[in-house]
């Protein structure tokens, strides 16, 4: 079976600091992707760059910050971006196809299944899917944006059961400190678990033309690893760098995983769904969910946040504020409020409920 690879390229790698497409760089990346494709790999490209490509063309002096201006720039830039990719790939006899997605697409099971089937058919026909966020309709709220497409690439990799995710950046991996400020900083070659200490190394924002930074890339690696996908974060600058990164000899950091890919239902629940509220649980319930493989019962609930109905997805947090996971809830918010902390017998006396579990273990995914 061909190896399936998702490659993510950010705005800063495709455009100049002043804005506009750097067609030479696009041709270079197309040649690297073509090497994988012609070598027999199933290749998917997740690309940023629409806003950065379009804002000069539309007449703005700098990258816009107002939502409707960014959406207008994306509307112009997306066409320019796809044209550049089509031209670059055509030199290798490769056809590229455009797919635009939003976070809302991932939160709807039917829509994301349709997107998955489309991608599968394109791959079957030896066409490279070029995937981007649909900036012209996506809102700019933090919870609905993909972070310069870093998390989008991880979601696509998990959804399509890719074996590897390659996130291209201007840094050759993760360091103990910023190597531009401290030449004594040490590069971390491999990570097998994303701990709080690893997250502290991630730093902050990205470049002037992009929105992602190392932190969003590590968050993406976390999603991919949870889906059983090995992730590489690093540089692809010279000819052959991308195939070398896929082979395990890249200029960056590898995020390994011993986890098996989650079933599609669990992937949707853990990474694609939009939680409608939060449930706070005590230490005993947290341990039962994380270590015991148990369902969540009303006795373990200490508080709720938000309004939700039976069948909605909710986030579960510990009393310390840690996110433990997500699940499909069997209670309305007001029902949980009425019976939180009570025994099973007392719950049955107080309310009429079809299932006693607040969240059944079959409808639960751990994210901690």
Tokens standing for residue 87: 């031209």
Bridge partner residues of 296 (DSSP):
359
Asked if the domains at 4-265 and 275-366 fall in one CATH topology, the answer is no
Q: Hey, how many other C-beta atoms are within 10 angstroms of the C-beta on 22? A: 17
Integer Cα distance of 55 and 70 in angstroms: 8
CB 334 within 8 A of CB 344: no
Q: Please give the Cα distance from 315 to 281 (Å, whole number).
A: 11
Give the count of alpha carbons within 13 A of 130, CB side only: 26
pLDDT at 203: 65
What's the pLDDT at 156? 94
Residues 6+ apart with CB under 8 A from 302: 280, 281, 282, 319, 340, 341
**pLDDT confidence of residue 42:** 98
More confident site: 341 or 179: 341
Write out pLDDT tens, residues 14-71.
987 777 899 999 999 999 999 999 999 999 999 998 988 888 888 888 888 888 898 8
CATH topology of domain 275-366: 2.30.130
pLDDT for residue 205 is more than 60: no
**Band of pLDDT at residue 112, cut at 50, 70 and 90:** confident
Q: Which of 224-228, 287-291, 311-315 has the lowest mean pLDDT?
A: 224-228
Give the least confident one: 102-116, 130-144, 295-309: 130-144
Percentage of the chain lying above the pLDDT 70 cut: 93
pLDDT band at 145 (very low <50, low <70, confident <90, very high): low
CA atoms of 328 and 307, how far apart (whole Å)? 14
**Burial class of 187 by CB neighbour count within 10 A (0 to 12, 13 to 18, 19+):** middle
What pLDDT is recorded for position 320?
Answer: 94
Residue 141: the pLDDT is 45
pLDDT, greater one: 63 or 206: 63
pLDDT above 70 for 1:
yes
Q: Spell out the domain ranges in the chain.
A: 4-265, 275-366
Band of residue 212 on the pLDDT scale cut at 50, 70, 90 = very low
Instruction: Determine contact, residues 302/282, Cβ cutoff 8 Å.
Output: yes
Domain 4-265 indexed as CATH 3.40.1160.10: yes
Average pLDDT over residues 85-89: 97
């Amino acid at each position: 079976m061909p190896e399936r690879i998702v490659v993510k390229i950010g705005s800063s790698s495709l455009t100049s600091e002043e804005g506009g497409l750097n067609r030479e760089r696009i041709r270079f990346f197309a040649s690297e992707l073509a090497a994988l494709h012609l070598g027999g790999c199933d290749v998917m490209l997740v690309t940023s760059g629409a806003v950065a490509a379009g804002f000069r063309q539309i007449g703005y002096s700098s990258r816009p910050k107002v939502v409707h201006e960014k959406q207008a720039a994306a509307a112009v830039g997306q066409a320019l971006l796809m044209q550049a990719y089509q031209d670059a790939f055509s030199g290798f006899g490769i056809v590229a196809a455009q797919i635009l997605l939003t976070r809302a697409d991932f939160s709807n099971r039917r829509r994301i299944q349709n997107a998955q089937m489309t991608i599968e058919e394109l791959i079957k026909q030896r066409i490279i899917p070029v995937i981007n966020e649909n900036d012209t309709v996506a809102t700019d709220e933090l919870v609905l944006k993909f972070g310069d497409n870093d998390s989008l690439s991880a979601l696509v990799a998990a959804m399509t059961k890719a074996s590897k995710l390659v996130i291209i950046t201007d840094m050759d991996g993760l360091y103990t400190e910023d190597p531009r400020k401290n030449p004594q900083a040490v590069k971390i070659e491999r990570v097998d678990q994303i701990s709080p200490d690893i997250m502290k190394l991630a730093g902050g924002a990205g470049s002037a033309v992009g929105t992602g930074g190392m932190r969003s890339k590590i968050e993406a690696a976390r999603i991919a690893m949870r889906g059983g996908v090995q992730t590489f974060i690093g540089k692809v600058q010279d000819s052959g760098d991308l195939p070398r990164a896929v082979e395990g000899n890249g200029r960056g950091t590898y995020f390994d995983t011993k986890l098996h890919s989650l079933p599609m239902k669990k992937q949707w629940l853990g990474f694609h769904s939009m939680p409608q509220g939060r449930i706070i649980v005590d230490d005993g319930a947290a341990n039962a969910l994380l270590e015991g493989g148990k369902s969540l019962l009303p006795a373990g609930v200490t508080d709720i946040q938000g309004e939700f109905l039976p069948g909605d997805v909710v986030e579960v947090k510990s009393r310390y504020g840690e996110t433990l996971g997500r699940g499909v809830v069997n209670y309305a918010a007001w029902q949980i409020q009425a019976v939180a902390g009570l025994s099973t017998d007392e719950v049955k006396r107080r309310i009429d409920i079809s299932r006693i579990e607040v969240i059944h273990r079959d409808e639960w995914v751990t994210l901690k």
